[in-house]
Amino acid sequence: PIWAKKFTDAKVPIVGDDIKSQVGATITHRILAKLFQDRGVHLDRTLQLNVGGNMDFKNMLERDRLESKKISKTQSVTSQLDHDMGEGNVHIGPSDYVAWLDDRKWAYVRLEGRAFGDVPLSLEYKLEVWDSPNSAGVIIDALRCAKLALDRGIGGPLLSPSSYFMKSPPEQYSDETAHVRTEEFIAGKIER
């Protein structure tokens, strides 16, 4: 709220915190968690373990730097659910640095739930991406939205683009709603 006010007062647009990659671990995890819910599967527990070889992962070897990243990723996924899974049932976060991976990131994700008749259902997948290019296009689109806002004289948090492009926006929308609202923002139909 303090920084939002500073940006608003200065008439400088700002787009969120902690970028969602084009197709990354958090966005796929988020969509699958929502799919479980939408299809009537009660999600009981989930985990996401990420390893990578770039400086982002090396910096997170300092565990105090890791905390905000874990919170951001966890809130991004759990915000899509209509129930609280309980802290002990959700583990999401950068896990380790592996130098030989270079700019590659490997994510291991598991979702466990109960389907019709209380029958257990689980889904596991591994995602491998080149980390920097996977975010580059998203960053460019976020900058384009900021430039549109600047040209329109709008300062402060851009709610729709923040929810679409970032893991920790001021307001968390479903991915579908965030996409529609970002398109409306680009078209000038809504201010933020």
Domain boundaries along the sequence of the chain:
2-19+134-186, 25-130
Tens of pLDDT, residue by residue over 128-143, are 999 999 999 999 999 9
Per CATH, the number for 25-130 is 3.30.360.10
Residue that is written with structure tokens 């579908």 in the block: 176
Q: What is the pLDDT of residue 153?
A: 97
Tens of pLDDT, residue by residue over 93-122, are 878 899 999 999 999 999 999 999 999 999
Tell me the pLDDT of the chain averaged across its residues: 93
Please tell me the distance from the alpha carbon of residue 125 to that of residue 45, in angstroms, as a whole number. 15
What mean pLDDT comes out for the span 60-83? Answer: 82
Residue 118, token pair as written in the block: 């209380």
Please tell me the distance from the alpha carbon of residue 170 to that of residue 29, in angstroms, as a whole number. 20
Q: Is 163 exposed, middle or buried (0-12, 13-18, 19+ CB in 10 A)?
A: buried
What mean pLDDT comes out for the span 170-191? Answer: 96
